Amino acid sequence: MAKYPVVIYGASGYTGMLIMDWLIDQNIPFTAVARNVQRTREMMAQRVVRLESATYEIIEAENTVESLVKAFKGAKIVCNTVGPFVKFGLLAVEAALKAGCHHLDTTGEQSYVRNVREQFGELYRQAGLLVAPSVSYMYSFAEIACELALETQGVDALETATLVRGPRGGSAGVSVGSAASIFELLRSPAFYLWEKELVAHAVDASFNIVAPEFIQPVFALPWSGTSLPVYFQDDARVRSCLSAVGFYDAEPMMRMVHGLACKWEAEYKDLPEEQQDAVIKSLAETTTPSMPPRERTTLQRSVDVAIGRGQLCAVRATVHGVTPYISTGALQAAAVLKLLDGETAKVGFASGSKAFGHRYLLGFLEQRGLARASVTQL
């Protein structure tokens, strides 16, 4: 049973420990839940900033609904970082509901987000609780850009690009969990929103994004489709939403992922699940064999763009950012602060911007030097 109001599930992982940094910064006590207490204690001692001033506990739990309910009981909010979410996420969503907790997570895996909406959205609403996937850099920054564009009256069509600086050569620059999630999504179709319906991208879909921030076009992919088409499907203002993701200093990696998507369709799609698991495990371990170092503002930077169009209007909203994983920790802390005060505009299934307000989230990031935004009428 949790002693403190906030649970971090996945406490020994890269993103979980960054959330701890921000909770400590805001003087919020937390319960760290992990499968191995000793390993978690060692990792926290190595990686968590200001741990000596934190109020926290570490408890052990297995990744089963029953074990997680026991661990979450007593808390108000679960911050879940355990992925791939399409494999493990729904267990924690169910457990948080049974424990009477709000559930926040850090993934943009579209198939998981759709499953959360369809299986748990109404149950959370009836319980007066919030379940909010993607309270993270991907795709809160792009959603903030969308909401800024939608402030222009008449905008009903959105196109977004999430463009991140990736390292040239060496490590892929993503966490171990992110690498596993990237390749896990090869199994699932990616959807965009067209005339209020989710439509599947072609398996070989790709984009060349032209943005004024860059000299050359950025090669981008649907990247599971992102969470944005799912969030905007039930938004009366929006008829269409298409999203793309690119790593602008890591085009070879992006082309490798694109090639793997085509190869999966041709060679792996019909294999038994255990053989698919082995392929994905091998790909993830090769891409990110160990936990990456803490991000640097001089290296990890991002540009999230939303183009909004209507019958006679067009607008471009841009959110420039730094250190996406660190920013994810900040977004989780911003959401936790609101929920601890009982302030949420929505219960049930909702995005961070819908629940807490895009201006609030943007302001939280701006005040901490993590983002700035601009809007241009076109």
Dump the DSSP string for 307-365.
Answer: EEE-SS-EEEEEEEEE-HHHHHHHHHHHHHHHHHTT--S--EE--HHHHH-HHHHHHHH
> Does 96 score more than 80 pLDDT?
yes
Q: Which domains does the chain have, with CATH numbers?
A: 6-136+325-369 (3.40.50.720), 138-324 (3.30.360.10)
- Alpha carbon 348 to its chain's center: 18
Residue with tokens 């969990």: 177
Mean pLDDT score of the chain: 94
pLDDT at position 188 is 86
Q: What share of the chain is helix, strand, coil (3-state, %, to 5)?
A: 45, 20, 35
Residue 184 has pLDDT above 90, yes or no: no
pLDDT score at 26: 98
Look at residue 18 and tell me whether its pLDDT is greater than 80: yes
Would you put residue 83 in left (φ > 0), alpha (ψ -120 to 50) or beta?
A: beta
Span 116-164, pLDDT tens digits: 999 999 999 999 999 999 999 999 999 999 999 999 999 999 999 999 9
* Percent of the chain clearing pLDDT 70 (strictly above): 95
Q: Residue 98 corresponds to which amino acid?
A: K
Residue whose tokens read 């907790």: 101
Query: Residue 316 — very low, low, confident or very high, per pLDDT cuts 50/70/90?
Result: very high
What is the 8-class DSSP label of residue 13?
A: S
Return the pLDDT at 268. 79
| pLDDT of amino acid 285 | 72
Q: Model pTM? A: 0.94
The two three-digit tokens of residue 125, written as one number: 């609403």
How many H-runs (helices) and E-runs (strands) does the chain carry?
A: 13, 16
Residue 30: phi, psi to the nearest 5?
A: -145, 155
How do strand 77-80 and strand 6-9 relate by DSSP bridges? parallel
CB 35 within 8 A of CB 7: no
**Residue among 244, 235, 243 at smallest CA distance from 156:** 235
Over residues 327-347, mean pLDDT: 98
Report DSSP letters for 83-114, one per residue. Answer: S-HHHHHHHHHHHHHHTT-EEEE----HHHHH
pLDDT in tens, 220-260: 999 999 999 999 999 999 999 999 999 998 888 889 889 88
Sign of the Cα pseudo-torsion (194, 197, 202, 207, in order)? positive
Q: Please give the residue that has the higher pLDDT: either 264 or 361.
A: 361
**pLDDT > 80? residue 370:** yes
Tell me the average pLDDT across 62-81. Answer: 98
Work out the pLDDT band at 181, boundaries 50, 70, 90: confident
| Strand, coil or helix: 206 | coil
